[in-house]
Amino acid sequence: MNIPEGQASVDRPVFMVEPWCVREPELRLDRLRQSESVFTLSNGHVGLRGNLDEGEPHGLPGTYLNSFYEQRPLPHAETAYGYPESGQTVINVTNGKVIRLLVDDEPFDVRYGRVHHHERILDMRAGTLTRNVEWTSPAGRRVEVGSVRLVSLTQRAIAAICYDVEPVDEAIRIVVQSELVANEALPGGGKDPRASAILDSPLVGEEHVANGTKVLLLHRTRESGLRMAAGMAHHIEGPESMTVDTESSEDVGRLTVATRIEPGQRLRIVKYMAYGWSSQRSRPALHDQVVGALAGARQTGWDGLLMEQRDYLDAFWEGADVEVEGDAEIQQAVRFGLFHVLQAGARAERRMIPAKGLTGPGYDGHTFWDTETFVLPVLTYTAPDAAADVLAWRHMTLPLARERARQLGLRGATFPWRTIRGHECSGYWPAGTAAFHINADIADAVVRYVDVTQDAEFEREIGLEVLVETARLWRSLGHHDVGGVFRIDGVTGPDEYSAVADNNVYTNLMARRNLQEAAETAMRHPDVAERLGVDAEEAASWRDAAAAMLIPYDQRLGVHPQSEGFTNHARWDFASTKPDHYPLLLNYPYFDLYRKQVVKQADLVLALHLCGQAFTDDQKARDFAYYEALTVRDSSLSAQTQAVIAAEVGQLELAHDYLGETSLMDLHDLNRNTGDGLHLASMAGAWNGLVAGFGGMRAGDGRLRFAPRLPGGISRLTFRMRYRGSLVRVTVTAESARYDLLDGPGVKLWHHGEPFSLGGDPVELPIAQVAASAPPTQPAGREPMPRRLDPHSRDARRRMS
């Protein structure tokens, strides 16, 4: 049955909890936008939201091509030098998912007639979305409809649908219409600045062709001048008596199949779709590309595409799977997160990974620092080729980043805060241009990738230039004061509730690493460094700046201020803040947020994770406790970092709570905005919280270190990761950790600070138990939802006290 909009309880679970799939046992029209995002299929090139096959009802139609956008004006209330004048918005391209069904002239529509059964399943091993429906039309004709959808991970341009129709108890006359539809009408956007701009009819038709069972539509964007092509071809199986027609117009291509089906018969239509776009290739070239891709898919066939998809995912899961015993929701969520992170980058091939992947238009389809800081670590340790492609895309945008730096009066390169093609698209400079840390985040991702893969060619051809240009930025952005200390003033760190501050600790620590790594990498490749104009004097200036970097510390409180002077600000009045006034940015002026001690998301605490060696164990515990009381988590990025550091400082139950928040962000629609697209960094956060949190994984400089400990609600944790040619499996229980070498030459590891060599035989080592200190407090009403309640849990201890 289907649950009409407005009649279902929001709190009732939408999806079943299963280890390898996401199952929707009934159609929830009240949660349609959420399920469309969750059921998105993508390969990093093309993304298909999980809309119903018949196209209606829908929450938000969506078919996206990576980096395909329309340009729009970016107005400013007051103009000033350096403000970007135009923005870029991802657009809904030609929809090939639509397959309409008429049963004795009645359109199949779940809002009419009677739905006896409706189930959809996202299978994360097969890489498919399956739908099964049994429906009786208003005229009393009963049919079974089944579809299986995939976006190929092996044939980049291809998506396909296998669509079956069968009568239940009597012969029926059916008509199936398979369509390509451009310039679909979209629902209007709300006032939330995190949502997207809605552009009406952004595509201009250039060509439409219908031939046999094939249809092709070509369009270009009105302003950005990008050209795209979408094509479909079909294989049809059914009764001998069928009529098949094709037609096309500027914005619609249609194949129509009409037949009569007796009980025991079936009509099957396999629909192959191909997508391509370019800013440079001609219309005939794109036409031929899509025709060729369709020919390749038809030669492979439906069964062949299914087999290729399963083989690809089998290989991925062999090196990436995470097994969790004791928390079934987290088990499902971490695989769901890994699956979507893979989909976002698998075939991106030197294009970006947006904050929402290709699952929705949230944030206008832009990429941010989220990708390098939260998503790429997962790909680097599980699918490193995909991580390399994203970093190669950043390298390709260096000319635009250099131009932006010159515009700002700086040397080197300034990467954009938010973008699609490398241009700055942020219209609010305190949370955009001033957030220079993105440059160090990109450099950090380069260093991590090279450390994990030892890819010397990448380091020479791509990595060094990124490191050099970002080091030049920091050297010109900061300055040595009269005492010789190196300062970086007037910047915004990860916490967007504290803008344009001096010496943000996270920014300074990451910039210090950037400067050091640039100097060391230039020494390893002197010929490339010379070609880039790096001499000994410049490299020495980077080292000097790094050595003199100011890292503020509040001696009075015994904690690191988030930025210079932060701990002197008045605290936000959390007790008087109403629960429905979160997120604060939608209910209070930035002016008030900027001058108070209130933290949107982990900032100093993120430094504890990514720059952990700069802090003592005692400093980590004190800093974490201090910022817990200030952090409201108005950003979905925060919980995973708080989970990682809570685990490191021994607050294992709190870490488990935060892990639940980041892992279930979209499956439970915790922020009530999953309908605009998945929170890809939160998807990655499930892996980060388990592997870096409870696995205690840290790496760098050829050292892969673990310090595993589990909370009471997880009895066993097993994860796999790749490092320097070896595939390692780590199995953690409360008492011990076992390390297995699954593939590769072997590797040196560290277990709670003790080194050992992992070769042919597994190594099992004990885990010492530690007593947790009193749990820190959070702002009133902003505590994470507890994962379990027992006499040892955090909330139970509070109630008993």
**Amino acid letter for position 73:** P
pLDDT digit string, tens, across residues 20-64: 999 999 999 999 999 999 999 999 999 999 999 999 999 999 999
Q: Give CATH superfamily name and number for 2-76+83-318.
A: Glycoside hydrolase, family 65, N-terminal domain (2.70.98.40)
DSSP 689-730: IIIIIIS--EEETTEEEE-----TT-SEEEEEEEETTEEEEE
Residue 93 has pLDDT above 90, yes or no: yes
Task: Determine the pLDDT at residue 798.
Answer: 39
Burial of residue 265 (CB within 10 Å: 0-12, 13-18, 19+) is: middle
Contacts within 8 Å (CB) and 24+ apart, 481-489: 484/548, 485/548, 485/549, 485/550, 486/544, 486/545, 486/546, 486/548, 486/549, 486/550, 487/550, 488/436, 488/550
The single-letter DSSP state of residue 279 is S
Task: Determine the pLDDT at residue 137.
Answer: 97
Q: Tell which phi-psi region holds residue 363, choosing left (phi > 0), alpha (psi between -120 and 50) or beta.
A: left
| Mean pLDDT to the nearest integer, 73-96 | 87
Specify the residue for token string 């579809």: 147
pLDDT digit string, tens, across residues 411-440: 999 999 999 999 999 989 999 999 999 999
Specify the residue for token string 């070509």: 218
Q: Give the model's confidence band at 794: pLDDT under 50 very low, under 70 low, under 90 confident, else very high.
A: very low
Give the residue among 331, 65, 95 at the shortest CA–CA distance from 232.
Answer: 95
DSSP 546-611: HHTB----BTTTTB--SSTTGGGSEEP-GGGS-GGG-SGGGTS-HHHHHTEE-BSS-SHHHHHHHT
Residue 9 has pLDDT above 80, yes or no: no
CA distance to 34, 391, 549, 720, per residue, from 61 (Å): 12, 30, 49, 36
Task: Determine the pLDDT at residue 191.
Answer: 55
Contact between 123 and 24 (Cβ < 8 Å): no
**Amino acid letter for position 565:** G
Determine the Cα–Cα distance for residues 361 and 503; give it in Å rounded to an integer: 34
| Mean pLDDT to the nearest integer, 183-189 | 82
Determine the Cα–Cα distance for residues 422 and 188; give it in Å rounded to an integer: 27
Specify the residue for token string 């595409």: 305
Residue 796 has pLDDT above 50, yes or no: no
| Mean pLDDT to the nearest integer, 458-476 | 98
| Mean pLDDT to the nearest integer, 772-792 | 85
Q: Give the model's confidence band at 725: pLDDT under 50 very low, under 70 low, under 90 confident, else very high.
A: very high
Annotated domain spans of the chain: 2-76+83-318
Task: Determine the pLDDT at residue 230.
Answer: 98
pLDDT digit string, tens, across residues 656-698: 999 999 999 999 999 999 999 999 999 999 999 999 999 999 9
DSSP 343-354: HHHTT--SS---
Give the residue among 419, 491, 428, 430 at the shortest CA–CA distance from 78.
Answer: 428
Catalytic residue among 166, 179, 308, 496: 496
Residue 8 has pLDDT above 60, yes or no: no
pLDDT digit string, tens, across residues 149-163: 999 999 999 999 999
Q: Active site includes 237?
A: no
pLDDT digit string, tens, across residues 547-580: 999 999 999 999 999 999 999 999 999 999 999 9
Please report how many Cα atoms fall inside a 13 Å half-sphere around the Cα of residue 506, on the Cβ side: 28
Q: Give the model's confidence band at 2: pLDDT under 50 very low, under 70 low, under 90 confident, else very high.
A: low
Determine the Cα–Cα distance for residues 323 and 731; give it in Å rounded to an integer: 9
**Amino acid letter for position 567:** T
| Mean pLDDT to the nearest integer, 76-102 | 90
DSSP 167-186: ESSS-EEEEEEEEEE-S---
| Mean pLDDT to the nearest integer, 204-227 | 97
pLDDT digit string, tens, across residues 535-548: 999 999 999 999 99
Task: Determine the pLDDT at residue 199.
Answer: 74
| Mean pLDDT to the nearest integer, 240-245 | 95
Task: Determine the pLDDT at residue 196.
Answer: 52
Instruction: Mention every residue, 6+ apart, whose C-beta is less than 8 A from residue 568.
Output: none
Write down the mean pLDDT value for the chain. Answer: 95
What's the alpha-carbon Rg for the chain, to the nearest Å? Answer: 27
Choice among 55-59, 84-88, 385-389, 663-667 with the minimum mean pLDDT: 84-88
Task: Determine the pLDDT at residue 799.
Answer: 34
Task: Determine the pLDDT at residue 167.
Answer: 97
How many other C-beta atoms can be found within 10 angstroms of the C-beta atom of residue 705? 16
pLDDT digit string, tens, across residues 291-343: 999 999 999 999 999 999 999 999 999 999 999 999 999 999 999 999 999 99
What does the block give as tokens for 512? 């210090």
**Amino acid letter for position 418:** R
| Mean pLDDT to the nearest integer, 469-482 | 98
Contact between 449 and 466 (Cβ < 8 Å): no
Q: Is 760 helix (H, G, I), strand (E, B) or coil?
A: coil
The single-letter DSSP state of residue 208 is E
Specify the residue for token string 């291809």: 158
Determine the Cα–Cα distance for residues 473 and 237; give it in Å rounded to an integer: 62
How many other C-beta atoms can be found within 10 angstroms of the C-beta atom of residue 215? 25
Dump strand ranges (E) for 198-320. Answer: 203-211, 214-221, 227-237, 242-248, 252-261, 267-278
Task: Determine the pLDDT at residue 197.
Answer: 57
CA distance to 57, 61, 481, 723, 753, per residue, from 146 (Å): 17, 20, 70, 42, 54
Instruction: Mention every residue, 6+ apart, whose C-beta is less than 8 A from residue 117.
Output: 1, 132, 133, 134
Determine the Cα–Cα distance for residues 506 and 440; give it in Å rounded to an integer: 10
Task: Determine the pLDDT at residue 190.
Answer: 55
Contact between 238 and 164 (Cβ < 8 Å): no
pLDDT digit string, tens, across residues 270-290: 999 999 999 999 999 999 999
Measured in degrees and rounded to the nearest 5, phi and psi for residue 72 equal: -145, 155
Measured in degrees and rounded to the nearest 5, phi and psi for residue 618 equal: -65, -40
Q: Give the model's confidence band at 772: pLDDT under 50 very low, under 70 low, under 90 confident, else very high.
A: confident
Contact between 10 and 30 (Cβ < 8 Å): yes
Task: Determine the pLDDT at residue 85.
Answer: 81
Specify the residue for token string 């094509």: 231
Contact between 715 and 325 (Cβ < 8 Å): yes
- Greater confidence (12 vs 745) lies with 745
Q: Say what percent of the chain tops pLDDT 90.
A: 92
Residue 638 has pLDDT above 90, yes or no: yes
Residue 387 has pLDDT above 90, yes or no: yes
Please report how many Cα atoms fall inside a 13 Å half-sphere around the Cα of residue 733, on the Cβ side: 6
Determine the Cα–Cα distance for residues 547 and 6; give it in Å rounded to an integer: 60
Give the residue among 16, 11, 188 at the shortest CA–CA distance from 669.
Answer: 11
**Amino acid letter for position 298:** R
Measured in degrees and rounded to the nearest 5, phi and psi for residue 92 equal: -75, 115
The single-letter DSSP state of residue 631 is B
Strand partners, 42: 47
